[in-house]
A and B are shown apart, each in its own frame.
Chain A
C-alpha cells in the first residue's frame, strides 16, 4: 500500500486540523502554520516501532536453542596445564648399603646418587615418569655402625636391616626384602609416592644384580663405592622409573586400553584347514589358572575381560615357501603385514564388550598340512624362537605347529586333537610376553644397562609390582592427555557451531570429567598412583561420553539460515513499513514544528 499512498502524502502541505483560516498579513501556508502540530500519529508510529523493538528480545529468546553452559575457560586451562608441564609423579628412592666401610658421609652419598640420577634422566621431561626432584634416602650399614639419613620419613630401623640375609634363591630373597622393607611401601605411606629400595651388599666376588617382583632390587658382590652409587642410580632411573623399556619401543601414547578403561582379550584358535586336522584347547582351565591372576593384577589400570573362540577354515593370506635348510615352510618378516587375513578371519568385535572398549586379538594359527611346519624367519636369517609376532594396538599371532605334520593316512574323518596343557602353557607364556610388549614392556627378563646386566624376576601375575606402578603412572598421564584433547576438541566444536544444541547432560559430563581430572592430578601429586589412575580413567571416559553424546549428532540441528528463511518473510516487510512510517512521521513533525515556530516568531515580532 505504501507505494500507492505515499505519493499522495506530500509532507509540506497544510496543517492537518482545519482551523478557521485567519487572514494574516504575511501568512504563507507553505512555510508557516498557526497551530501546534499534532503528535497523535507520531506517537502511534513510534509506539509501534517501540513495541517492535521491545519484541526483538522475546523473538530472539523464543528461537534460541538450548545450550548448556560449558566451562570453556577451565577446559583451556586444563589442556594448557597438561601441555606445558608434563605430568609427573613423586617417587622415593631408598638406597641401603650393607657391609661397606666408607669414609664419605651420608649427605655426600645422597648427593652423588642424585647427580648420577639427573645425569641418567633424559633432558626432556617425559609424561608419566617421576619428577626430577627425587627424594633419596640412604642407609649405610657397616660392620660397626648403622647410619641413616634424616630425610627418610619412613624407613626400616637399622636393627631390621641387620637381619637381611641375602642368601638363597632370588625368590626367597625378594620375599625377605619385601617383609623387611615393604612395610613402608604401598599407598599407606601417605604422601610422597612409592618407595623403591636398592640394597647393595658388599660381599663375595661375583657381582649380581637382581630386580625383584616388588619394589626392591639388590646388588651383591664386590663393588666399589662409585660403582655401587652409579648402579643404584641406574636401576632406579631406568628400571623403576622408566620400566626398563628400550627407546623406540611402543610409545606410551598407544596404551591399548579403551576409552572406557576396558580391554577385551579375545583369544582365537585358528585351524587353517580342518580337513587335515582339528585342534581344540581347554581354554576354560587356562582362563582360570593363568589369566585370572593377571586380570586381577591389572585391575587399577584396566578392566580386562576374556573371551575365546575356535575358528575353522581360516587360511592365512600370505604365501610361504619351502626351505630345505630348515626342513620346513618359511615366511619372513616381510610377509607379516599380509599374514592376517582380514577377509576371512572374522575375529569380530564383541557383542559383550561395550562400545568403546579396546579389543586385543590373540591368535594361535595352526597351519594346514600343506604348509606344516611353518616357521617365521627373522631378517637376520635366523628362525624366530617364539614363532610369533605382535601388531601394536591390534594384538598378537602365534604360529603353532603340530607335533607331526603328517596327515593321518587317507582317513575320511580328520584327526581331532586337544592341545596339551604343557603346550598351552608355553603358548600362553608367549601370549603373556606379547601382552607385555603391547603395553610397552620387555618380554625377556634381562636388563642390560651401562653399569651391568641385571636380571628381572618375573611375576606369576604377568606384571611385577613396580611394572604396574609404571603402567598406572603412564596410564594416568595418557588418560589425562586424551581427556584434555577430547575436551579441547569438544569446546572448539561447540564454539564453532553457535547454533548447536547442547544438552544439560553434556554439560554435566564435562563438569564431572574436569573434576575427575583435577582429582587425578591432586592424587598424582600426592603420589597415590592407583587412585589417580582410576580417576584419570573416569575423566577420560566422561570426556569421551560428552564428545560422543548422541544429541551432538542430532538431526534437529537448527541453522541460522533456516531461522532466517522462516522469519524473514514476515519481519522484513513489516519492519520496513514500521521504520519508514516512523521516520516519515518524525521528519514531518519536525518540519511542521518549524513552520509553527516560524509563524510564532512572526506573530511575536509583529
Chain B
C-alpha cells in the first residue's frame, strides 16, 4: 500500500505525470524497431441507456532512416502522404450526429479527443517553411479527398481554412485548421478508412463494424490521427504513428428487458456484442500485436454500484466492484475478464473508474467472444461533465444583422474542481475560445460583450488575451482566439458578438442556398483541467494504446453547436430579369428620344388639320367616339393638333411611369 500512499501526494504524482510520457517514449523507441499494429475496443455503458463503442487501431512505423521506405504493415498511402507533404501532425475526422456532453460525459479522454463537430474536420501541422504551408495544405486536402472519397478538397479555398496561432493548439504558423460542417458521412468514407488497416474488416475487432448498426447510432465519428517525426533528426524520431478511431454511440435493443422486467422501467438495457453489432468477435487480426476489448465503468457508475453494494450486502461490504465481478450486485458479465484495472485517483475524493480487460487472443472461430452485460438492479448515475457547459446560438432576426452568443453554464462538477487556482489566492477559471467565422458573416469584434452571472462586465476584466484576424471578403475567414478568466463562483457567462450578413456573388451560392449557411463549431477549451486517467498497470503501459492515450495529459475540450445562418438568397433568374427590364426601359427611352428629335411639329399640325377636314381617319374617329361615349361627354372632333404633342408626351410620361413601377416591383417584390 506504499505506492498509493505516495501517489496521493500531488507533487509526486505530478512528477509521475511528467515522466510517464518520457518513459512511454523510451519504451516506444525501444520497441519501434519494426512496424506494429494493435487493435482495441472500449465499451462503456452510458447513463441514458446507450452504449459507447470506441474502436482504436494504432499502426506504427519506425523512422525511414532506420527502416527504409518500404513498409510491411503500415499503409503505403499514409507514409507516402507524410513523405510528400511533410506532414508533422494531422487529424481528420468524419462525424455524424452531435456528442451529448451532458449525458455522455465531457470530462474524459474520449469526449475531449473523439467528440468532434459534425461533418469533416481537418487540421494539420506541416514541417515546411512557413511560406509553403498553404501550398502543402492545398495539396494535402486534394490527396485526402481522393483517399477518403469525400469533398475534403473544398478546404482548399482560402475562405474555408484558417491558421490559428494559439487558440487551437500551439503550433504557430505551420498549423492549418478547416471544417466542412455540411459534409455527409457514410460508408463510402468508412471503406477507404478500413483499407488502411492490415486486416480491413475481414478479421479481428473491425469485423464487428456492421454498417447498418454503426450508422443507425446516435453518434458516429471516424477519425484518423497521424503523428510523424520523419523530418526530425534520426535520434529524436519515433517514426510515424497512425491512430484510427471509430466512436459510435448506439442504443442496444432492449426488447428482452421490456419483456422480463416490464415493471422495472428504470432498469438499464442489457446488451451484448451481438445485440449491438449483430456480430461476434471470431478471433483477433493475426497481424495485430495486441487485440484487447475493454469495458469501462464510469466514476459515477462505480460510485453508485459501491453504494448499492453497501446497501444490499452489508454482510460482506468489503467486496467492492473492482475485486470481483461475480459478486457484483448491479450487473453480470457473460465473460470473465482477464484483468481488472482500477483508476489511480490522486486529486479527487471520488470513486475511481474501473476497466475490465479481455484478451481476444484466446478466442477463435470455434469459441467466439461475445461480451454481454446484464443489469440486475436499476442504476442511475451521471457522467462527469466539463467545468462549464457551452452552447452557442444566434440572436436577432431578419436578413441584415444578428449576433452570435456563446453561453457558458457552470455544472455542479466545476464547484468541486475549482480548487486548481486556489493556491494563487484568487480563484480563476480559465477558458479558451477558438472560433472561425466565414467571411460573409461580418463580425464586429469591437462589439464583444461579456456577461457574468447575467451582469455585463468590462471586457478587459475578463478577457485575458485575445487575437483576432478579421475576415477579408472572399479571401479569408474571420478567426477569433480568446482566453477568458472567470471568477470561480460564477453561475453563467455569455459572450456576444454582433455581425452583419454579407452579400454573396451569385456564383458563390451553394445549390441549396435557401437552407442557410453554416458557422463552424467553436472550440471551448479548459486549459487548467486535464483528462488524464491513470490506471494502475503492473507492466508495459505501452502495450495498450487506449490506456496510454487515457494517460495523456490533455486539456478538456468541447465543441459547440454548428450554427445555421439564413442569408438573403436571391431569385437566381433575377440577373436575366433585371437585364431584360432595364434594357427594355433603356430601349424605350432611346427610341422615344429619337422620335421626339425628328418630330416635325408644324407639319403634324397641318396634317392633322387636313385630316380633320377630310375625315380620313375613320378608325380614329370611331375610337374617339367610343372614348367620348365612355367619358360621357358629347362627341367632338379630334382635339386640335396643337394639343397632340403634349398628348404624346403625357403618354410617354405615363409609359415611363408604368415601366418605373414595374422595375420597382421587380426589385423589391420579385
Contact = CB atoms under 8 A, between A and B. Distances in A.
Nearest to B147: A351
B562 interface: no
B595 interface: yes
Given A14-B606, A351-B80, A5 B595 contact: yes
A5 B599 contact: yes
Interface in A45-95: 45, 48
A18 interface: yes
Interface string A304-348: 000111111100000000000000000000000000000000101
B72 A577 contact: no
A25 interface: no
Interface stretch (A367-375, A519-527, A566-574): A566-574
Given A307-B76, A566-B579, A8 B604 contact: yes
Interface in B51-108: 68, 70-73, 75-77, 80-81, 83-84
B476 to A, nearest CB: 22
A497 interface: no
Contact of A309 (B76, B287, B604): B76
Interface in B572-587: 576, 579-580, 582-584, 586-587
A313 B199 CA distance: 6
A275 B583 CA distance: 76
Interface stretch (B526-534, B624-632, B644-652): B644-652
Given A45-B594, A351-B81, A573 B584 contact: yes
Contact of A8 (B68, B644, B651): B644
A351 B381 CA distance: 49
A274 B203 CA distance: 10
Q: Which of B76, B283, B586 has the most CB of A within 10 A?
A: B76
Contacts of A312: 198-199, 287
Contact of B592 (A1, A309, A565, A566): A1
Given A1-B652, A565-B576, A581-B594, A9 B600 contact: yes
Interface stretch (A276-284, A509-517, A533-541): A276-284
B631 to A, nearest CB: 20
Contacts of B594: 45, 48, 577-578, 581
Interface string B130-157: 0000000000000100110000000000
Interface string B158-176: 0000000000000000000
B287 A573 contact: no
Interface in B549-595: 576, 579-580, 582-584, 586-588, 590-592, 594-595
B149 to A, nearest CB: 13
Contacts of A577: 587, 590-591, 594-595
A350 B78 CA distance: 10
B606 A574 contact: no
A412 interface: yes
B80 to A, nearest CB: 4
Contacts of A14: 603, 606
A45 B372 CA distance: 95
Nearest to B81: A351
A460 interface: no
What range describes how many residues of B lie at the interface? Answer: 35 or more
A311 B75 CA distance: 9
B560 to A, nearest CB: 34
Nearest to A410: B364
B606 A44 contact: no
B202 interface: yes
A14 B203 CA distance: 105
Contacts of A413: 286
A350 B584 CA distance: 58
Interface in B204-251: none
Contact of A570 (B146, B587, B596): B587
B454 to A, nearest CB: 50
Contacts of B84: 351-352
Which of A283, A307, A350, A569 is most buried by chain B, counting CB atoms within 10 A of its CB?
A569
Interface in A92-125: none
A137 to B, nearest CB: 49
Contacts of B606: 13-14
Nearest to B35: A310
Nearest to A312: B198
Contact of A412 (B199, B364, B600, B644): B364
A10 interface: yes
A13 B603 contact: yes
Determine the main DSSP class of B at the interface with A: helix
B80 A350 contact: yes
Interface in A276-306: 278, 280, 283-284, 287
B287 A351 contact: no
A169 interface: no
Contacts of A307: 70, 76, 80
Interface string A36-48: 0000010011001
A4 interface: yes
A585 interface: yes
A604 interface: no
Contacts of A572: 587
A284 B64 CA distance: 11
A42 B596 CA distance: 14
B587 A284 contact: no
Nearest to A285: B68
A1 B647 CA distance: 12
B72 A581 contact: no
Nearest to A49: B594
Given A275-B203, A348-B76, A569 B648 contact: no
Interface in B512-545: none
A574 B590 contact: yes
Nearest to A310: B72
A350 to B, nearest CB: 6
A287 B644 CA distance: 99
Nearest to B364: A412
B87 to A, nearest CB: 11
A542 to B, nearest CB: 22
Interface string A388-413: 00000000000000000000000011
Contact of B648 (A5, A45, A274, A566): A5
A48 B608 CA distance: 29
B580 A573 contact: no
A283 B73 CA distance: 13
Nearest to A572: B587
B330 to A, nearest CB: 34
Contacts of A566: 576, 579
A227 B117 CA distance: 83
A404 B84 CA distance: 41
Contacts of A275: 203, 283, 286
A329 B604 CA distance: 108
Contacts of A4: 648, 651
B580 A313 contact: no
A382 interface: no
Interface in A464-503: none
Contacts of B582: 570
A566 to B, nearest CB: 6
Query: 7 closest A-B pairs (Cβ-Cβ)?
Result: A569-B583, A570-B583, A573-B587, A577-B591, A1-B592, A284-B68, A313-B202
29 contacts: A1-B591, A1-B655, A13-B607, A13-B610, A41-B600, A44-B597, A45-B598, A278-B286, A278-B287, A280-B72, A309-B70, A312-B287, A313-B200, A351-B77, A351-B84, A412-B361, A414-B286, A565-B579, A569-B580, A569-B583, A570-B582, A570-B583, A570-B584, A573-B587, A573-B591, A574-B591, A577-B587, A577-B590, A577-B591
Given A13-B603, A13-B606, A577-B587, 8 more contacts: A1-B596, A9-B600, A311-B198, A313-B199, A350-B76, A351-B81, A566-B579, A581-B595
Interface of A: 1-2, 4-5, 8-10, 13-14, 16-18, 41, 44-45, 48, 274-275, 278, 280, 283-284, 287, 307-313, 346, 348, 350-352, 412-414, 565-566, 569-570, 572-574, 577-578, 581, 585
